């Protein structure tokens, strides 16, 4: 039996390794040519200290308190030289990937489908030959734009392990990727690097509040599919906010989770005052007390910087601080003609 261990480094690079039964994470990493921080490897120095963000494991008693205190252990810190997984795990490594003599991994995919959604967004489906890339739900990948020598970053909207990778891409007038997608045809090969990012679904221990701004919906589709496949029963509420009516895309996919995911609910919000949508304004105006659960809630937010800042101010104003607040800010790429050569 082996367990899949996601090593998430400080610079956002994630590498996946297989850890054998009764094998320590540090040894498994070395076997995969990843040099995690270490000095003694005997549970004495504490140099290999990391944080286990999900999964189950054993630490044993072969380490000293100076290397890992009880308070640190209760807070999820581990010594990778002593950590023996008993399930798949996510381990946050507090150094950059280059310091561990590893880095981003790359792969090739083929364009399978390009589906425009009004003038707001484009859904891009890619097919991968061989083993599908592993990633944490919520992470992103860099997609090379053929012929440009440049790349753009997009969150996976599909689930890890699927042979078809899906992305929800904001249509930007004059944008490099938007322009290429208007010309691209199925069968074209493109290069990707990743997975990347520290915005990903952690172990679910309490209700979740998901806040999506525009195409920031993408990572939540991956998270919701992961939760549905895992049979999660924790309450999950998604607030999907956009500027215009036409920006509401893939609502049918969100609606499908109502039947598949127990205790899931969602609402859509449109900021345009001229809209006839039943809920207008900003996401902060539609956070119910039930969704906030008196602060005993994990909040995930993906949207433009003003949205992230507004939500943070809103929590301060109402005096509610969520148990955990994970967010990712994104800014649409500038038009190609406005970029430096």
Q: What is the 3-state secondary structure (H, E, C) of 146-208?
A: CCCCEEEEEEECCCCCCCEEEEEEECCCCEHHHHHHHHCCCCCEEEEEEEECCCCCCCCCCCE
Question: Which of the listed CATH numbers 3.40.50.1820, 2.40.30.10, 2.130.10.10, 1.20.120.80 matches domain 106-196?
Answer: 2.40.30.10
pLDDT in tens, 47-105: 999 999 999 999 988 898 889 999 999 999 999 999 999 999 999 999 999 989 888 88
Identify the burial level of 65 via C-beta atoms within 10 angstroms of its C-beta, where 0-12 means exposed, 13-18 middle and 19 or more buried: exposed
pLDDT cut 90: percent of the chain above it: 83
Residue 297 in contact with residue 323, Cβ under 8 Å?
yes
338 confidence band (pLDDT: 50, 70, 90)? very low
Beta carbons within 8 Å of 78's beta carbon, 6+ residues apart: 25, 49, 50, 51, 52, 57, 59, 68, 91
129 confidence band (pLDDT: 50, 70, 90)? confident
Does the structure show a pLDDT above 50 at 337? no
The two beta strands, 236-242 and 264-270, are parallel
Phi, psi of 46, deg, nearest 5: 85, 5
pLDDT in tens, 13-38: 999 999 999 999 999 999 999 999 99
Q: Which residues of the chain form CATH 2.40.30.10?
A: 106-196
The residue among 39, 79, 32, 40 whose CA lies nearest residue 57 is: 79
Identify the burial level of 314 via C-beta atoms within 10 angstroms of its C-beta, where 0-12 means exposed, 13-18 middle and 19 or more buried: middle
Q: How far is CA 66 from CA 4, 40, 61, 94, in A?
A: 29, 13, 13, 19
Q: For residue 36, count other CB atoms closer than 10 A to its CB.
A: 24
**Fold adopted by 2-100:** Ubiquitin-like (UB roll) (3.10.20)
**pTM assigned to the model:** 0.86
Strands (DSSP E) along the chain, which ranges?
A: 2-9, 14-20, 49-54, 57-58, 77-79, 84-85, 89-93, 106-117, 121-127, 140-145, 150-155, 164-170, 189-196, 208-213, 236-242, 264-270, 298-303, 324-329
pLDDT cut 70: percent of the chain above it: 97
Q: If DSSP codes are grouped into helix, strand and coil, which group holds residue 219?
A: helix
Beta bridge partners of 20: 2
Does the structure show a pLDDT above 50 at 313? yes
Question: Which of the listed CATH numbers 3.30.70.1050, 3.40.605.10, 1.25.40.10, 3.40.50.80 matches domain 208-329?
Answer: 3.40.50.80
Q: If DSSP codes are grouped into helix, strand and coil, which group holds residue 141?
A: strand
Q: How far is CA 189 from CA 2, 128, 155, in A?
A: 33, 10, 19
pLDDT at residue 69, rounded to an integer: 92
More confident residue, 118 or 91: 91
Average pLDDT on 224-231 reads: 96
166 confidence band (pLDDT: 50, 70, 90)? very high
Does the structure show a pLDDT above 70 at 336? no
pLDDT at residue 161, rounded to an integer: 87
Q: For residue 101, count other CB atoms closer than 10 A to its CB.
A: 10
Q: Which residues of the chain form CATH 3.10.20.30?
A: 2-100
More confident residue, 22 or 338: 22
The two beta strands, 140-145 and 150-155, are antiparallel
pLDDT at residue 312, rounded to an integer: 94
The residue among 110, 183, 201, 123 whose CA lies nearest residue 147 is: 183
pLDDT in tens, 230-286: 999 999 999 999 999 999 999 999 999 999 999 999 999 999 999 999 999 999 999
Mean residue pLDDT of the chain comes to 92
Does the structure show a pLDDT above 90 at 332? no
The residue among 338, 301, 328 whose CA lies nearest residue 153 is: 328
The two beta strands, 89-93 and 49-54, are antiparallel
The enclosing H or E element of 305 equals helix 305-318
């Amino acid at each position: 039996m082996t367990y899949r261990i996601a090593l998430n480094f400080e610079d956002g690079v994630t590498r996946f390794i297989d850890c054998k039964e009764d094998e320590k994470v540090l040894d498994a990493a070395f076997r995969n040519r990843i040099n995690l921080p270490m000095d003694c490897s005997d549970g004495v120095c504490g140099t290999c200290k990391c944080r286990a963000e999900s999964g189950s494991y054993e630490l044993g008693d072969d380490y000293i308190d100076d290397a890992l205190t009880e308070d640190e252990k209760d807070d999820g810190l581990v010594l990778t030289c002593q950590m023996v997984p008993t399930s798949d795990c996510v381990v946050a490594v507090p150094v950059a990937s280059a310091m561990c003599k590893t880095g981003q991994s790359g792969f090739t995919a083929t364009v399978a489908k390009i589906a425009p959604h009004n003038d707001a967004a484009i859904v891009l489906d890619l097919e991968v030959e061989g083993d599908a890339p592993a990633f944490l739900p919520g992470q992103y990948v860099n997609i090379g734009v053929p012929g440009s020598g440049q790349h753009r970053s997009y969150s996976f909207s599909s689930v890890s392990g699927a042979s078809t990778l899906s992305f929800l891409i904001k249509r930007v007038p004059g944008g490099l990727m938007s322009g290429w997608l208007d010309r691209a045809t199925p069968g074209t090969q493109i290069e990707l690097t990743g997975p990347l990012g520290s915005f990903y679904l952690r172990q679910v221990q309490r209700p979740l509040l998901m806040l999506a701004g525009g195409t920031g919906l993408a990572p939540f589709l991956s998270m919701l599919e992961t939760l549905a496949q895992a049979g999660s029963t924790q309450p999950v509420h998604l607030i999907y906010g956009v500027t215009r009516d036409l920006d509401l895309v893939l609502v049918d996919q969100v609606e499908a989770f109502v039947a598949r995911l127990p205790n899931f609910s969602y609402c859509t919000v449109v900021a345009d005052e001229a809209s006839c949508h039943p809920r207008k304004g900003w996401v902060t105006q539609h956070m119910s007390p039930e969704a906030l659960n008196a602060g005993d809630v994990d909040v995930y937010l993906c949207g433009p910087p003003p949205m992230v800042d507004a939500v943070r101010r809103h929590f301060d104003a109402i005096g509610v601080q969520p148990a955990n607040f994970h967010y990712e800010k994104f800014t649409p790429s500038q038009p190609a003609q406005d970029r430096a050569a």
